[in-house]
Amino acid sequence: MIRPFIIFCKLNQITFSDFYWFHQENHALSRTDGSCTVCRARMSMESFASYRRYLVELEDGEPVTHTVTVQRCRCGSCGHTHALLPTTLVPYSSYSLRFILSVLRAYFLRTDTVAGICERVGIAISTLYRWKKLFLTHKQLWLGVLEAMHRDHCSFLDQLDGVALKSHYLAFRVSFLQSFRRTVREQPFSGAGQLFVST
């Protein structure tokens, strides 16, 4: 996959919706000649296909589900295909990055019971704990064991910006909060006649 990371401010300072953010970056990607992440060839991408998937975001604290179109391109050098994945999407998850971070923030701040948080945003309790586990794993991977132990979870969340997300992706070749396990709820969009792709 290819990720643009064109938004550099802190995520909690973004005032527009995830749906708008997706389209802003998607538009930028369509005009970008990215490098192939497999063979490193530059200016080698050609349009290949697209697929539909869900994007679930929080609007005024309520979950809202959109369907969005993700572009795929093919490297003319090595032939690999790549999803062009805007930053607001977490690979293999229907929930937006800010949706997940908002839920984790509410959990760490104890704004409600775990059951109350999950009921409000429409997720299973097991999903919240899976996100928490991923968050703690990635935070430790990012900061190292000692710093992660002493860095407050919410201050870490509040410092996340596009630069940090890009650094994480380049350093570990995995997006922040990306899981390779998919739940039934998080399967890609299954509309009739659509091309199914796993990112």
With a CB cutoff of 8 Å and minimum separation 6, the contacts of 65 are 54, 55, 56, 94
Mark the segment that binds Zn ion (CB under 5 A) among 31-39, 115-123, 144-152, 159-167: 31-39
Q: What is the DSSP string of 160-179?
A: -BHHHHHHHHHHHSS-TT--
Which of 10, 176, 192, 181 is CA-nearest to residue 85? 176
CA distance 89 to 51: 14
One residue of 78, 109, 115, 154 binding Zn ion per CB under 5 A: 78
36 lies in the site for Zn ion, by CB under 5 A: yes
187 lies in the site for Zn ion, by CB under 5 A: no
Which x/- pattern, by CB under 5 A, does the window 101-140 give for Zn ion? ----------------------------------------
SS3 at position 80: coil
One residue of 8, 16, 33, 39 binding Zn ion per CB under 5 A: 39
Give the footprint of Zn ion on this chain (CB under 5 A).
36, 38-39, 41, 75, 77-78
